[in-house]
Amino acid sequence: MALIFHTNHINKRFVRRVFENTLINIDDYPYHFIKEWDIHIWPLSDTNTQFFEHIKTTSGQKINPDMPSGVTGLYRMDLYLHDSSNAFKERENSDRIMHEICHARLINTTHFVTGVHRNLHKRFTTTFWYWNRFKYTKFTLSIIDIRKYL
C-alpha cells in the first residue's frame, strides 16, 4: 500500500494507524490489500466539487465539500481530509478513511455500495494508540461491520 500524502499538517502516523486498525479488524488478510492499493491523501481544498455535483447523501442532500470525502476505484483511493491534527478533525477523518476502506474491501462484490451504506448503523469499536506531537494518545475507532460480506 502506498499512502501518498499531499497534505502539510495532517498527522501521518494517525492516518496510518487508522488504516492498519481498520484492516486488521475487518479482514483476515490485510497485507494482501496493503500490497495492491495506492491511496492518496488530499486536503479538503483539493476536493473536486464538480465530481460530487450529481451525488446525493442518503438523506437526499448534496455532498458538503467542507466535510471529508473519498472516491474509491480499482486499486486507487483518493481521500479528501481535513489537513489538521486537531482531535475533532481527526475523528471526522478517521470515519471517512474507515468508510472508504470498507468500500475498497467490497469492490469486486455485489455489496460494494450497499454493504457499506445499509450497515452504517451496524458498527463495532477498536482502540489503538498513536503518537500525537509529544505523547501517545488513545483513540477509539468505530468500524462499519462488513465482515459478513468478505
> Is 70 exceeded by the pLDDT of residue 19?
yes
Helical ranges in the chain per DSSP H? 12-26, 30-36, 87-105, 114-117
Q: Residue 28 is part of which domain span?
A: 2-149
SS3 assignment, position 146: coil
Total tally of structural domains belonging to the chain = 1
| CA proximity to 121, closest of 91, 146, 104 | 146
- 82-94 pLDDT, tens digit each: 999 899 999 999 9
Judge if pTM exceeds 0.85.
yes
Question: CA 19, CA 21: separation in Å to the nearest integer?
Answer: 6
* pLDDT tens, position by position, 86-126: 999 999 999 999 999 999 999 999 999 999 999 999 999 99
